[in-house]
Amino acid sequence: MNWEAAITLFGSVALIFFIGLTASRKETVGKSFMQDYYLGSRSLGGFVLAMTMTATYGSASSFIGGPGVAYNEGLGWVLLSVTQVATGYFTLMILGKKFAIVTRQYKATTLIDFLKERYQSKLVVLLSAISIVVFLFSAMAAQWIGGGRLIESLTGLSYTSALFIFVVTVLIYVTFGGFRAVTLTDAIQGSIMFIGTLVLLIAVIIAGGGISEIMADLQAENPNLITPFGSDGSLTAPYVSSYWVLVGVGVVALPQIAVRAMSYKNTRSFHLALMIGTIVVGVIMLNMHLIGVFARPILPGIEVGDRVMPLIALEVLPPWLAGIVLAAPLAAIMSTVDSLLLIVSSTIVKDVYMNYIKPDASRQRVQRISMGITALLGIFVFLMAVNPPDLIIWLNLFAIGGLEAVFIWPIVMGLYWEKGNKYGATASMIVGIISYILFQSFYPEPLGMHAVVTSILLAFAAYVSFSWGMGLKVVEH
Amino acid sequence: MITIHERGGYTLNNHQASEKDFRFKIANREALLGIGLVLFNFIWWFAFAYGLGGKDPSEYTYVFGLPAWFFYSCLLGVIVMSVLVFFVVKRFFTDVSFDEEEYEDQ
């Protein structure tokens, strides 16, 4: 076990959480508990907004899995990953002001609130709640596995104890802190990621003898590593381009991202977030994945992709610094988990319990239930992650694309097309999810692209045709 | 359409009301700018990556040690987009108020 690295790693994480909790304590009185716990009373400033978007989106897949894949695929995978720079500006520009204005008018605090007021349909609410709980729950379990593995490979603890440490910290934090604490730590975590990956990249370049040297080594090993096509030439242009939809523009439809687009204070913070967000996402994505590629000549023969980040950090940095830098991926996973946990809990408490079971619950009761559900969910996910059932792993593969196929048109068309109605939204959600699951299972790359592209197109057709067809009938009545 | 959205959905679903709210005009224009930026970003990314990177690796030219396709498409691409977003936001994005009373006063 590497004590020095472990101490600085846990030290940094503890410090981040301490700051988040202290800062969130101050302002919880007086405002609606719902608005505050789940939305931070819509008070995010520009820097915090940009960082929380980045940290929420940059999950275990980008920070642990991503560099591992880049290690195996070469520069082609970095090319694929920079498509995510679009999330830095596109998401906020599309949802942007309209979402902020409309959700304030609706007094909506969750994505489902918005859909409920916009479409006035129980079916839409129910379909949304089910998609969110099922997909995000499994996405969460996958993140926890990633977090456990990172602590495991750094400290040498068993996987179960590593996972336990990870889960307890996250749970204490989310249960008591709520949205504001989560976004505040996101801001710190985003900054660590930004600086940490930069430090690690520079150290890796020095250890590899300069960029030209590294490129020559890579070319000597396998020339494909420095082409856009991946180590065996299988990353085709249409396939890589389709990631512009999956991890670029489609991200507008992820509930954990959408909720952030309604939580900012004013347009000044919104404009600032656009400028900061683009550069931060771009730099982090480039750094993380370049580290993976550059690590290859320095540490050849790493078999498990997930171990590339921890191993290269311990190789090229002094242990104490490696601990701090690795706090970045750990922080990324934690903040993703934090926000997923909050979304799932708000879906259950707010969108289902308060809408349909007990609308007149007192503030105290709601508060107790919110915290209780959040904690309960956490424990449940822990049990899943200790011994992950196959179903969870399978569902997680569908999580991001599935959510995008379900929500993209009900959100975007709901905002920008007056004639869109509940028939269109329902049809679009059902067509989106069913076509996505069918494509993924039986025909994963239609037209050489990721299945999400086709499903989103089909969902669009369903939204428009059903809104038109059924909408006319309603007007006649 | 107003028949099915009598509650809540008023502003969005009533065509006239949403035309009157000048903030929606601004929001729509800014969303279009977002689409424009992402299209530009995609073309830049695609043209350099596959235009310069499509040939045999032995014929690659290098910029700062990196293959030219990668340098222009990814590295320069991120820098160009950051600068462009900065410029577009500063130049074309308008501050509006989210405060309902304040807005009605205007």
Q: Cβ contact (<8 Å) for B27 and A475? A: no
- Tell me the pLDDT tens digit for each residue of A106-115: 888 888 889 9
Average pLDDT over every residue of A426-436: 94
Of A86, A117, A214, the CB nearest to B9: A117
pLDDT confidence of residue A69: 86
Sketch out chain A's domains with CATH numbers: 3-388 (1.20.1730.10)
Average pLDDT over every residue of A142-163: 80
Of A78, A117, A227, the CB nearest to B8: A117
- Tell me the pLDDT tens digit for each residue of A31-55: 566 666 666 657 677 788 888 777 7
Inform me whether the C-beta atom of residue B95 falls under 8 Å from chain A C-beta atoms. Answer: yes
DSSP output for chain B: -GGGG-SSTHHHH-HHHHHH-HHHHHHHHHHHHHHHHHHHHHHHHHHHHHHHHTS-GGG--EETTEEHHHIIIIIIHHHHHHHHHHHHHHHH-------HHHHHH-
B66-67 and B62-63 beta bridge pairing:
antiparallel
Average pLDDT over every residue of A293-308: 86
Q: For an interface test with A, give the residue of B2, B6, B13 to mutate (most A CBs within 10 A).
A: B13
Lowest average pLDDT, out of A60-74, A158-172, A444-458, B55-69, goes to: A60-74
What is the spatial distance between Cα A273 and Cα A144, in angstroms, rounded to a whole number? 28
Q: Which residue has the higher pLDDT, A263 or B11?
A: A263
**Coil, helix or strand for A44?**
strand
A122 contacts in chain B (CB < 8 Å)? none
pLDDT confidence of residue B101: 46
pLDDT confidence of residue A442: 87
What is the spatial distance between Cα A299 and Cα A167, in angstroms, rounded to a whole number? 31
pLDDT confidence of residue A390: 67
A75 contacts in chain B (CB < 8 Å)? 67, 70
Inform me whether the C-beta atom of residue B59 falls under 8 Å from chain A C-beta atoms. Answer: no
Q: How far is B20 from chain A (nearest CA, A)?
A: 14
- Tell me the pLDDT tens digit for each residue of A193-233: 888 889 999 999 999 999 999 999 999 999 999 999 999 98
Helices (H), A208-266: 211-221, 237-243, 255-258
Question: What is the interface pTM, i.e. ipTM, of the complex?
Answer: 0.85
In a 13 Å sphere around the CA of A111, the CA atoms on its Cβ side amount to: 33
Lowest average pLDDT, out of A143-147, A264-268, A344-348, A408-412, goes to: A143-147
Q: Cβ contact (<8 Å) for B30 and A78? A: no
**Does the pLDDT of residue A436 top 50, yes or no?**
yes
Of B5, B70, B89, the CB nearest to A271: B89
**Does the pLDDT of residue A472 top 50, yes or no?**
yes
Inform me whether the C-beta atom of residue B12 falls under 8 Å from chain A C-beta atoms. Answer: yes
A215 contacts in chain B (CB < 8 Å)? 62, 65-67
- A256 and A31 in contact (C-beta within 8 Å)? no
Q: How far is B29 from chain A (nearest CA, A)?
A: 10
- Tell me the pLDDT tens digit for each residue of B31-63: 999 999 999 999 999 999 999 998 888 889 999
pLDDT confidence of residue B105: 41
Inform me whether the C-beta atom of residue B3 falls under 8 Å from chain A C-beta atoms. Answer: yes
- Tell me the pLDDT tens digit for each residue of A51-80: 877 777 665 455 566 888 899 999 999 999
- A134 and A377 in contact (C-beta within 8 Å)? no
Q: How far is A380 from chain B (nearest CA, A)?
A: 36
- Per cent of chain A over pLDDT 90 is 29
